[in-house]
C-alpha cells in the first residue's frame, strides 16, 4: 500500500486524495478530523497508517522476511532457519495466536517445519474418529456435539444438513445457519427438545481431570448419564475414547480397557463396537477391541438410548 501511495505522491504531489471525488474527499476529511488532523495539512489518518506500516516493516525485517525498505526477501524452504521455523510452528500450534483467539483446531495431520524441511509430525486418532462419526450419524438427525470447541466436526455436520448444537465451556468459534452453541458444561445444559444423536469425540476421557478448567463437567460416567437425559429414547450415542489392553490415566486423559468401557456405557445398548490401532507414528489400522494390533488404539462405539 505504501509503495503505491509513494509513487502516486511523486507523480501528482501530496495529497493525491484531493483529486478524488468530493464525497470521498469529504469522508477522508471527516476521518482526519476525528483523528486530530486539520484540513489543509498532512492528514492524521495517513500519519497513523505510515506509523503502522513502519512498525510492520521493522517486525518483518527482524524476522528476515522483509528488508528495511519493506521489500519481501526470497524465502525458500531450503533457506528456512531455526528461529523462523520455531516461530512458524508456534504460530500454527495449540499455543499460538490463533489458539489464543480460540481458533485452533485439532486436525488429524499436523505438519511441522524446520531448517530445509517440512514433515508430518504425526497422524492422530481423528483420522479414524471423524470418518466414523460422519458415516454413523443418522440421516437428518439433530446432533449434540460434546466438547467440540477444537474440532471442525460440528461445522461439517451442519454443512451436511444436520441441526447441530455444540456444548463446550469454551464456546465454538465457527458459525452456520444449522449450528448453535451452548457455552457451558454438559452438566449445566438444558434443552427444549431432546436430540436424535449425541457425539462425544475424544471428549469424556478428559472430564473430571482438570483439562477443562472451571467447566464443572464432572467425570466421564456423569457425562454418559447426563447424555441419557438429553438424547431421545431410541436416539444414538457416538462415542470415541482412547483404548488399550490396560486401563489407566495418562496426564489429562483416561485410557479405557474392555471392563472400564463397559462400565462407562452402563444403561446404553451397544449396537456397534470396534477399534482402530496405532501401528506407528503415521499409521492407524482398523481392528477389534478384543484383538489389539498395537499398544494404543481408539474405541469407536455406537449405542442406543433404551
Question: 133 and 108, same structural domain?
Answer: no
The phi-psi region of residue 64 (left if phi > 0; otherwise alpha if psi is between -120 and 50; otherwise beta) is left
Question: 189 and 89, same structural domain?
Answer: no
Confirm whether 69 is domain-assigned: no
Q: Which residues contact 141 (CB under 8 A, 6 or more apart)?
A: 162, 195, 196, 197, 236
Query: In the prediction, which pLDDT does 209 show?
Result: 86
Range of the domain at 297: 126-305
Question: What cell numbers appear for 73 in the block?
Answer: 526477501
Tens-digit pLDDT profile for residues 67-121: 556 565 556 888 888 888 898 899 999 999 999 999 999 999 999 999 999 999 9
Query: Coil, helix or strand for 76?
Result: coil
Question: 91 and 145, same structural domain?
Answer: no
Confirm whether 68 is domain-assigned: no
Whether the ω angle into residue 15 lies within 30 degrees of 0, i.e. cis, is yes
Please say whether the beta carbons of 282 and 122 come within 8 A. Answer: yes
Task: For residue 201, list its beta bridge partners.
Answer: 240
Confirm whether 82 is domain-assigned: yes
Q: How far apart are CA 96 and CA 292, in angstroms?
A: 36
> How much is the pTM?
0.75
**CATH number of 259's domain:** 3.40.50.150
**Last-in-domain residue among 62, 88, 108:** 62
Question: 138 and 20, same structural domain?
Answer: no
Tens-digit pLDDT profile for residues 159-205: 999 999 999 999 999 999 999 999 999 999 999 999 999 999 999 99
Picking from 124, 107, 128, 127, the residue whose alpha carbon sits closest to that of residue 287 is 128
Amino acid at each position: 500500500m505504501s509503495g503505491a501511495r509513494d509513487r502516486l505522491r511523486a507523480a501528482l504531489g501530496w495529497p493525491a486524495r484531493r483529486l478524488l471525488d468530493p464525497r470521498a474527499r469529504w469522508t477522508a476529511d471527516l476521518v482526519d478530523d476525528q483523528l486530530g488532523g486539520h484540513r489543509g495539512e498532512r492528514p492524521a489518518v495517513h500519519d497513523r497508517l505510515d506509523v503502522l506500516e513502519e512498525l510492520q516493516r521493522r517486525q518483518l525485517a527482524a524476522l528476515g522476511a522483509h528488508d528495511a525498505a519493506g521489500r519481501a526477501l526470497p524465502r525458500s524452504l531450503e533457506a528456512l532457519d531455526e528461529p523462523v521455523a520455531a516461530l512458524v510452528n508456534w504460530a500454527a500450534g495449540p499455543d499460538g495466536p490463533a489458539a489464543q483467539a480460540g481458533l485452533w483446531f485439532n486436525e488429524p495431520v499436523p505438519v511441522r517445519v524446520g531448517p530445509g524441511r517440512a514433515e508430518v509430525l504425526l497422524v492422530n486418532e481423528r483420522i479414524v474418529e471423524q470418518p466414523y462419526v460422519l458415516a454413523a450419524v443418522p440421516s437428518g438427525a439433530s446432533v449434540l456435539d460434546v466438547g467440540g470447541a477444537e474440532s471442525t466436526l460440528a461445522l461439517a455436520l451442519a454443512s451436511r444438513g444436520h441441526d447441530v448444537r455444540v456444548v463446550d465451556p469454551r464456546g465454538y468459534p465457527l458459525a452456520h445457519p444449522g449450528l448453535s452453541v451452548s457455552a457451558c458444561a454438559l452438566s449445566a445444559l438444558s434443552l427444549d427438545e431432546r436430540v436424535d444423536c449425541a457425539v462425544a469425540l475424544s471428549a469424556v476421557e478428559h472430564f473430571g481431570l482438570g483439562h477443562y478448567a472451571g467447566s464443572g463437567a464432572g467425570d466421564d460416567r456423569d457425562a454418559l448419564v447426563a447424555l441419557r437425559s438429553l438424547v431421545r429414547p431410541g436416539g444414538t450415542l457416538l462415542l470415541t475414547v482412547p483404548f488399550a489392553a490396560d486401563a489407566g490415566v495418562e496426564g489429562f486423559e483416561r485410557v479405557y480397557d474392555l471392563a472400564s468401557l463397559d462400565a462407562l456405557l452402563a444403561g446404553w445398548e451397544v449396537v456397534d463396537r470396534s477399534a482402530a490401532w496405532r501401528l506407528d507414528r503415521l499409521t492407524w489400522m482398523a481392528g477389534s477391541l478384543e484383538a489389539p494390533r498395537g499398544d494404543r488404539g481408539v474405541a469407536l462405539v455406537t449405542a442406543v438410548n433404551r
